[in-house]
């Protein structure tokens, strides 16, 4: 479903601040797979997500989604096929619009928008039905502006919005990192349920090794702009955080020192 | 103030209400501080006047022509910003100064009198009421219709996309909204409204003038700011209503300031009074005392 081939990304090229964020990344995510990405700060995990979403321009390489070469497609065009949940709960929803209008906006991602009223009664019913799943009582607050919701509520709504329409790929960018542990757990469970129910292809970037290993069915690790580790199936099922660290040490000949990564 | 003066102030208040709706669309909805209006207001006037006098067009069509010209100007400003990455404020300034020359060309001179020709306002002469009564009524209805159309538009699929493009561009893009296009059409539409306002202004005052755009940006902005600080705008319906109220109140404030003998202002001080009023409104809004003043005032 997602194919990255020979992807190179360099920030601030030809300046003293030049950073080679991705150095030849090949990645193939088959349809229906739930992939988790781990890596320390600056390893390239978020950059690779941005490459898929179209936020970051490639220096070399190609991006394919659902068999189509989308390398030169802008973000809004790619969003017909993929949806995204951001780390910052404020980013995923539009706070000046009501919950219902946010749903209508997400609906327009895969369908024509037009000059008709965005919010009809069928939209209202559909949104209410989906919001009921959350058990947060949001189905009774459809006309409230999203700015009135808490971070966790907004993130849950973003997730539902990302799942509306005929979305094929779900991109999750550390989407539980800014939430308190209990809410993070809730949002993560919701994520698993949605990906499962809709049989989506999903890519989740996370800072937590444990989360990466216990979510989805395949885990890759980025280090200095390259994929250094790729595990799935039985090998990954039996793997614990300690094994991952050991593996990293053996492969790279160095200790992993990012505290956030170890503690997570 | 006499009744005549009050009606005259309402008249201009309503015309600038249309400008205020445009300013609301750019400043509030799209988060695009647009200075093009300084040029598109006289552009609308120049185009309409030239079409009426020179080409003998129907005044209603000519007014619409002024709106189309305004749209093109706004579209060009947004194009400089979206396509060529020029800072939005600078893009607006570039357009408005170039429009100054363009307006002189269109009118083949610094102004275009509209005397002894049919304007949209001559259509009402048969209603048995003098112009100073019927004109504000007509303009009031017109500005309300435009307001309701804008409200309706902002509730459509396109409308909410435009609102999201202004409020949260990254989120809008992730939901398939072409943010650049929204700016092009949004800023275009705002300037179309301003062009129509300019066309009407020229027809009611009997001439289009190359200098009539000076301060329009401040008037539009002042209307939005004054309106928003008086009427809390939880919904779009209330927000656009606040803009219209702001535009009218603001005209009255200017008229009163110029009329009050003890202040010693002359008619030529209008721009100074305008700037002072806006500064006062902004300072009061910051300190939060504006609402208190109003509340106290209404209790008296």
Candidates B153, B164, B170; nearest CB to A105: B164
- Supply φ then ψ for residue B57, to 5 degrees: -70, 160
**ipTM greater than 0.90:** no
Angle, alpha carbons B164-B168-B171 (nearest 5°): 85
Whether the pLDDT of residue B182 is over 90: the answer is: yes
Chain B hits for A122, Cβ within 8 Å: none
CB–CB contact B167 A95 (8 Å):
yes
Cβ–Cβ gap B167/A97 under 8 Å:
yes
* Least confident window among A182-196, A249-263, B99-113: A249-263
Owner of token pair 């329009």: B216
Contact call for residues A143 and A160 (beta carbons, < 8 A): no
Residue B129 has pLDDT above 90, yes or no: no
**DSSP structure class, residue A29:** E
- Alpha-carbon gap: A121 to the closest alpha carbon of chain B (Å): 14
Does the pLDDT of residue A247 top 80, yes or no?
no
Mean pLDDT comparison of A43-57, A89-103, B43-57, highest-scoring range: B43-57
The CA distances from residue A64 to A11, A25, A51, A159, B294, in Å, are: 22, 13, 11, 24, 60
Chain segment A12-60, per-residue pLDDT in tens:
888 888 888 888 889 999 999 999 998 888 788 889 999 999 988 888 8
pLDDT at A257: 62
Residues of B in contact with A75 (CB under 8 A): 173-174
What average pLDDT does range A237-244 have in this prediction?
81
Across B87-111, average pLDDT: 95
Mean pLDDT score, B42-66: 95
Give the residue with greater pLDDT, A150 vs B271: A150
Mean pLDDT of chain A: 86
Q: Which residues of chain A does B159 touch, with a Cβ-Cβ cutoff of 8 Å?
A: 118
Give chain B positions within 8 Å (CB) of A105. 160-161, 164, 172, 175, 177
Give which of B13, B69, B99, B52 is closest to B203, Cα–Cα.
B52
pLDDT confidence of residue A262: 57
Which among B19, B9, B63 has a CA at the least distance from the CA of B41?
Answer: B19
The pLDDT score that the predictor gives to residue A259 is 57
Question: Which two structure tokens, joined as six digits, stand for A205?
Answer: 């970037």
Quick check: A108 and B157 CB within 8 A? yes
Residue B208 corresponds to which tokens in the numbers above?
Answer: 């289009």
The answer to whether the beta carbons of residues B77 and B91 sit under 8 Å apart is: yes
Taking the CA of residue A154 and the nearest CA in chain B, the distance in Å comes to 13
Other CB atoms within 10 A of residue B36 CB:
34
Cα distance between residue B91 and residue B177, in whole Å: 23
Which residues of chain A are within 8 Å of residue B167 when distances are taken between CB atoms?
94-97
| Average pLDDT for chain B | 89
Which of A84, A112, A113 is the closest to B174 by Cβ? A84
pLDDT of residue A233: 81
* pLDDT recorded at residue A30: 92
The whole-number pLDDT of residue B300 equals 36
pLDDT mean over A5-15: 87
pLDDT value at B186 more than 80: yes
Distance from CA of A146 to the nearest CA of B (A): 12
Better-predicted residue by pLDDT, A100 or A119: A100
User: Are B48 and B219 contacting, i.e. CB atoms less than 8 angstroms apart?
Assistant: no
pTM of the model: 0.87
Given B155, B158, B176, which is nearest A80 (Cβ)? B176
* Ranges assigned E (strand) in chain B: 111-113, 207-209
A246 forms beta bridges with none
Where do the domains of chain B lie? 3-213
Q: What is the pLDDT of residues A50-94, one digit of tens each?
A: 999 998 888 889 999 998 899 999 999 998 888 999 988 888 899
Among B171, B176, B177, whose Cβ lies nearest the Cβ of A91?
B171
Q: What domains, with CATH codes, occur in chain A?
A: 2-97+167-263 (3.40.50.300)
Q: At A258, is the pLDDT very low, low, confident or very high (cuts 50, 70, 90)? A: low
Q: Provide the 8-state DSSP code for A143.
A: T
The per-residue pLDDT for range A150-183, each reduced to its tens digit, is 888 999 999 999 988 778 899 999 999 888 888 8
Q: What is the DSSP string of B166-223?
A: HH-HHHHHHTT--HHHHHHHHHHHHHHHHHHHHHHHHHHHTEEETTTTTTHHHHHHHH
**How far are the Cα atoms of B44, B47, B87, B191 from residue B34, in angstroms, in the given order?**
16, 21, 11, 9
In Å, how far are A23, A41, A74, B31 from A59, measured between CA atoms? Answer: 10, 21, 15, 32
Nearest one of B279, B230, B271 to B254, comparing CA atoms: B271
User: Coil, strand or helix: which one is B261?
Assistant: helix
Percentage of chain B exceeding pLDDT 70: 95
Place B292 in a pLDDT band, splitting at 50, 70 and 90.
low
**pLDDT (0 to 100) of residue B298:** 45
Chain B positions touching A79 (Cβ under 8 A) are 173-176
* Strongest mean pLDDT among A146-155, B3-12, B144-153: B144-153
Considering only alpha carbons, which residue of chain B is nearest residue A158?
A: B171
pLDDT at residue B215, rounded to an integer: 86
Taking the C-alpha atoms of residue B29 and residue A155, their distance in angstroms, rounded to an integer, is 24
Question: Cα distance from A19 to chain B (closest Cα, Å)?
Answer: 24
| Radius of gyration over every alpha carbon of chain B, rounded to an integer in angstroms | 19
Residue A95: its chain B contacts at CB < 8 A?
Answer: 167-168
Look at strands A2-11 and A60-65 and give their pairing: antiparallel
Look up residue A40 and give its two tokens: 């320390």
Mean pLDDT check: name the lowest of A165-179, B48-62, B212-226, B255-269. B255-269
Backbone angles phi, psi at B83, to 5 degrees: -85, -40
Say what the pLDDT of residue B80 is. 97
In the predicted structure, residue B193 carries a pLDDT above the cut 60 = yes
Please state, as a whole number, how many other Cβ atoms lie within 10 Å of the Cβ of residue A211: 21
In angstroms, the separation between the Cα of residue A6 and the nearest Cα of chain B is 25
C-alpha to C-alpha distance for A224 and A40, rounded to whole angstroms = 9
């Amino acid at each position: 479903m997602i194919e990255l081939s020979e992807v190179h990304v360099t920030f601030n090229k030809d300046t003293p601040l030049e950073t080679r964020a991705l150095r030849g990344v090949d990645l193939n995510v088959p349809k229906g797979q739930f992939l988790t990405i781990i890596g320390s700060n600056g390893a390239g995990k978020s950059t690779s997500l941005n490459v898929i979403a179209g936020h970051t321009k490639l220096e070399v390489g190609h991006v394919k989604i659902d068999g189509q070469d989308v390398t030169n497609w802008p973000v809004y065009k790619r969003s017909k096929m993929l949806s995204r949940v951001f780390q910052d709960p404020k980013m995923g929803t539009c706070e000046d619009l009501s919950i219902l209008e946010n749903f209508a906006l997400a609906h327009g991602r895969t369908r024509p928008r037009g000059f008709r009223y965005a919010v009809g009664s069928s939209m209202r019913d559909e949104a209410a039905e989906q919001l009921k799943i959350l058990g947060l009582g949001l189905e009774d607050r459809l006309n409230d502006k999203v700015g009135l919701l808490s971070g966790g509520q907004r993130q849950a709504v973003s997730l539902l919005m990302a799942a509306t329409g005929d979305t094929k790929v779900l991109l999750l960018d550390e989407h539980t990192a800014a939430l308190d542990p209990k809410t993070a757990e809730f949002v993560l469970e919701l994520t698993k349920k949605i990906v499962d129910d809709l049989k989506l292809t999903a890519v989740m970037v996370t800072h937590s090794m444990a989360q990466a290993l216990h979510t989805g069915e395949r885990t890759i690790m980025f280090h200095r702009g390259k994929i250094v580790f790729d595990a799935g199936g039985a090998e990954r099922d039996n793997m614990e955080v300690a094994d991952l660290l050991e593996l990293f040490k053996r492969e790279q000949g160095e200790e992993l020192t990012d505290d956030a990564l170890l503690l997570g | 103030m006499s009744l005549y003066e009050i009606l005259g102030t309402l008249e201009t208040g309503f015309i600038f209400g249309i400008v205020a709706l445009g300013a609301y669309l750019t400043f509030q909805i799209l988060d695009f501080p647009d200075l093009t209006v300084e040029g598109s207001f006289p552009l609308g006037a120049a185009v309409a006047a030239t079409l009426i006098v020179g080409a003998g067009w129907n005044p209603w069509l000519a007014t619409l022509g002024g709106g189309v010209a305004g749209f093109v100007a706004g579209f060009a400003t947004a194009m400089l910003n979206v396509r060529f990455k020029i800072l939005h404020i600078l893009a607006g300034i570039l357009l408005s100064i170039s429009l100054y020359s363009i307006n002189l060309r269109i009118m083949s001179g610094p102004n275009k009198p509209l005397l002894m020709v049919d304007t949209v306002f001559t259509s009402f002469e048969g209603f048995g009421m003098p112009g100073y009564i019927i004109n504000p009524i007509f303009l009031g209805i017109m500005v309300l219709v435009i307001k309701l159309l804008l409200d309706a538009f902002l509730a459509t699929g396109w409308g909410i996309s435009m609102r999201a493009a202004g409020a949260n561009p990254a989120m809008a893009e992730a939901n398939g909204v072409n943010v650049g296009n929204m700016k092009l059409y949004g800023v275009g539409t705002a300037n179309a409204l301003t062009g129509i306002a300019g066309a009407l202004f020229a027809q009611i005052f009997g001439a289009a003038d190359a200098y009539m755009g000076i301060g329009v940006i401040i008037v539009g902005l002042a209307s939005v700011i004054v309106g928003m600080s008086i009427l809390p705008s939880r919904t779009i319906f209330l927000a656009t209503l606040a803009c219209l109220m702001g535009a009218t109140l603001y005209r009255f404030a200017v008229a009163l300031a110029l009329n009050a003998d003890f202040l010693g202002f002359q008619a030529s001080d209008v721009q100074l009074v305008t700037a002072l009023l806006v500064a006062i409104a902004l300072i009061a809004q910051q300190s939060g005392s504006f609402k208190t003043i109003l509340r106290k005032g209404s209790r008296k």
